[in-house]
Amino acid sequence: LTDLFHVQIRFLVEILWPVFLFIGLVWLRRANPLYRQHECHFPSKAMPSTGILPWIQGIFCNANNPCFRYQTRGESPGIVSNYHNSVLARFYLDSQELLFNDTEFHQLGRLWREASIMSNFMETLRTSPGRVAGKGLKVEDILKDDEGLTSYLLRDAGLSEGVVYDLTHSKLRLEQFAYGIPDLTLKEIACSQALLDRFLIFPSRGGMLGVHNAMCALTQQRLQTIEDVLYANLDFFKLFRLVSFYNFNSISVLNPVLN
């Protein structure tokens, strides 16, 4: 009898339960009249793998889960965020462009690092000039790749190829610039063998005399123009890079160019 009673109860529940559900739906229908709902498009919510900014925007900007009648921008192929053109997104992209992709910014960072190397090197020149005495930087090696100094000396200044070769293959005595550029005109240096030998190391004595005779014959105005062209064609990045090869802990020079 007990089993029969349980079967009857189960049968009634299986019959009445759908009826109760139907009655509940009818009540909800009467209590909340239907209204017309337009087509709904929800803003896309980016995953963390798409980037920090789209992911955060998807969480906070769509907190109320708005519904739009039209297709949202994030539903387009290849687009993961509806806020690509927002002020914050543009600022984020511009910051990335400046910090990681902008060539000029990298050049500034490079200039700062190599200027620090140059500053340390100048300090070494002032405190221990003997470490680099007699060494030098070849003039040709610190000129820009597309330098115009050589052509100017040959074409406009009228110097011979031999003189230009000796001048561009001479080496600057770095210890003479420990306290900055000397207050001397190029005319004074060119017309003095002692000053030429003080600031430059020539491949040969004859080369120094040839440069002395040719340069001293030029006018002060022409020499000033040569000095301006020289400064315009200096590659300071090359200069800093070559200077960085100096080993401050020994007298020797690491870079063969500087030997």
What total of structural domains would you count in the chain? Answer: 2
Q: Residue 195 has what pLDDT?
A: 87
* Both structure tokens of 12: 């009634």
Length of the chain as a residue count: 259
* Position 216 pLDDT exceeds 80: yes
Q: Residue 117 has what pLDDT?
A: 66
Residue 2 lies in a domain: no
Mean predicted confidence (pLDDT) in 237-254: 55
Whether residue 175 sits in one domain with residue 247: yes
> What is the residue range of 46's domain?
35-80
Mean predicted confidence (pLDDT) in 217-229: 87
Digit-coded pLDDT (tens) for 165-215: 998 889 888 777 665 667 778 888 889 888 888 888 888 889 899 999 998
Whether residue 71 sits in one domain with residue 190: no
Whole-angstrom distance, CA of residue 213 vs CA of residue 193: 9
Whether residue 138 sits in one domain with residue 57: no
* Position 82 pLDDT exceeds 60: yes
Whether residue 237 sits in one domain with residue 138: yes
Whether residue 135 sits in one domain with residue 53: no
Whether residue 68 sits in one domain with residue 110: no
Mean predicted confidence (pLDDT) in 102-127: 64
Residue 235 lies in a domain: yes
Whether residue 196 sits in one domain with residue 249: yes
Q: Residue 23 has what pLDDT?
A: 92
Residue 27 lies in a domain: no
Q: Which of 117, 127, 149, 122 is nearest to 238 (CA)?
A: 117
Whether residue 160 sits in one domain with residue 61: no
Whether residue 120 sits in one domain with residue 241: yes
Whether residue 142 sits in one domain with residue 247: yes
Whether residue 110 sits in one domain with residue 73: no
Whether residue 192 sits in one domain with residue 66: no
Residue 178 lies in a domain: yes
| Cβ neighbours of 10 (radius 10 Å) | 10
Cα distance from N-terminal residue to C-terminal residue, the chain: 114
Q: Which residue has the higher pLDDT, 221 or 82?
A: 221
Q: Residue 255 has what pLDDT?
A: 40
